[in-house]
Structure 1
Amino acid sequence: MTRGDSAYHRAMAEANRQSVLAAGAALFLENGYDRTSLARIAQEAGVSKATLFKQFPTKAELFEATVLAAGSTPDLVPLDVPTDDFRAGLVMLGRAYGDLLMRPEMTALMRTVIAESPRFPELRTRTFDFGTLPVLKALARYLRDAHATGVAEIDDPDTASAQFLGMIASSIFWPRLVHGTWSMTDDEREQAIEEAARTIEARYAAS
């Protein structure tokens, strides 16, 4: 196999993967986890069942990949996050996280996770690696850099990240997820993010 052939096949494999993920997202949201079959996803994606099974041997693995793909949006990651103003950097990243949570497909897929996991052990036992999402990777990098440069004193970036994201999600995401008619204004959302940033700043900013 030549180098060109290898690149071609990698490109085809990635195109097939994206087609499968798009078809999976549409069918999972339309029919739920139980009534969505891998065979139907393969048909809608325009790939063979063998191609699908090669990348996603089980429906649980495909569903996990579908949820993570819905949040894999590098364009949400802010550029030029300030490194000398800890709170301002947190606010910028908090807004990006809020934008991610407000994506309709993220809300819909998380509702599916909550609704389906009690009935399907293969979903209940999976640990979705949300730390791979670009926004959350950017936050983890920001916290590590803040500690390294002395802007903040953060011995455990994972804990600090969970605290920050948890405050934001509990204010702007979970009420919306549980109560479909719940809403908040842009100003209220901004206030929730800024309050979360101030709390983290008060806890971790260097003296």
Structure 2
Amino acid sequence: MEPPAATYHQKVALEKRASILRAATGLFIELGYDKTSLARVAERAGVSTATMFKQFRTKADLFEAIVLQFWDAGSDEAVTPPPAGDPRSGLAALGARYARLLRRPGMAGLHRMVIAEAPRFPDLGRIQFDLGKQPFFELVRDYIDSEARHGLLRVADVVRATTEFLGMISNFVLWPQLLLQEWSPSDEEVDATVGSAVETFLARYADETSARPSS
């Protein structure tokens, strides 16, 4: 059994890390990447600079951690596809998961910051894509490919099909927020968008059996 002291110190370290990530996310969104220093993050998080540098040696390391947190990278849900055999159910689950990620507080702000800073810091876009969007895209792509190999979908270009499916959701949930900060669709509107994306996808790619709504 782990000594209580070790457990306590680990808990404190995790709490400090969470405070740093919250502070950094807020500062990146408010000030941009360039004007946010690690010292400023430490001050807002209420930790010492020594603690700051112990957790994150560089600003790039800190940004990577924020992206991973936003996209739940490494969590069981993030890497586990739905079981094959029911494209309607599987796509609905993945679509709902995608919508939840895109609706996280700060996600739109993070995208705005990356887009604004990309000309001077092109690595930010690459980090956001490689560690955030791409792993989720690959999860959905592999699921669609699996259903196609089981004969439940007819997909000639799985990358294009995946892009179409996720695009129908992000086009409503996320992208308007980049220009319209007041854009805040209701849960019902988001659910309807995901459902419509699933039905549209199945109308294009499913065979006759799997395209029928479940009774």
TM-score (norm 1): 0.70
User: Displacement, 1:70?
Assistant: 1.4
Equivalent residue for 2:132?
130
Q: How does 1:165-176 map to 2 (within 5 A)?
A: 165-176=166-177
User: Displacement, 1:61?
Assistant: 4.7
What stretches of structure 1 of length at least 5 have no aligned partner? 1-7
Equivalent residue for 1:83?
84
Identity of aligned residues (%): 43
Q: Is residue 97–residue 136 contact of structure 1 (8 Å, CA) maintained in 2?
A: no
Q: How does 1:60-139 map to 2 (within 5 A)?
A: 60-72=60-72, 74=75, 81=82, 83-123=84-124, 128=129, 129-131=131-133, 136=137, 138-139=139-140
Amino acid of the structure 1 residue aligned with 2:116: A
Amino acid of the structure 1 residue aligned with 2:176: P
Q: Kindly tell me: are residues 75 and 180 of structure 1, through their superposed partners in 2, closer, same or farther at Cα, counting changes over 3 Å?
A: farther
Q: Is residue 32–residue 112 contact of structure 1 (8 Å, CA) maintained in 2?
A: yes
Q: How many residues align?
A: 203
Please tell me whether residue 27 in structure 1 is matched to residue 27 in structure 2.
yes
Q: Kindly tell me: are residues 145 and 12 of structure 1, through their superposed partners in 2, closer, same or farther at Cα, counting changes over 3 Å?
A: farther
Root-mean-square deviation (Å): 4.0
C-alpha distance in 1 between matches for 2:133 and 2:184 = 27
Q: How does 1:181-192 map to 2 (within 5 A)?
A: 181-192=182-193
What stretches of structure 2 of length at least 5 have no aligned partner? 1-6, 209-215
Stretch of structure 1 that moved more, 146-155 or 68-77: 68-77
Encode CA deviations 1:127-159: one digit per residue, 9 max, x unaligned: 6232465x5554234223212322223354333
TM-score (norm 2): 0.68
User: Displacement, 1:97?
Assistant: 0.9
Q: How does 1:33-52 map to 2 (within 5 A)?
A: 33-42=33-42
Q: Kindly tell me: are residues 173 and 75 of structure 1, through their superposed partners in 2, closer, same or farther at Cα, counting changes over 3 Å?
A: farther
SS at match of 2:106: helix
C-alpha distance in 2 between matches for 1:145 and 1:46 = 48
Q: Is residue 76–residue 100 contact of structure 1 (8 Å, CA) maintained in 2?
A: no
Q: Is residue 95–residue 169 contact of structure 2 (8 Å, CA) maintained in 1?
A: yes
Q: Is residue 93–residue 139 contact of structure 1 (8 Å, CA) maintained in 2?
A: yes
Equivalent residue for 1:196?
197
SS at match of 2:24: helix
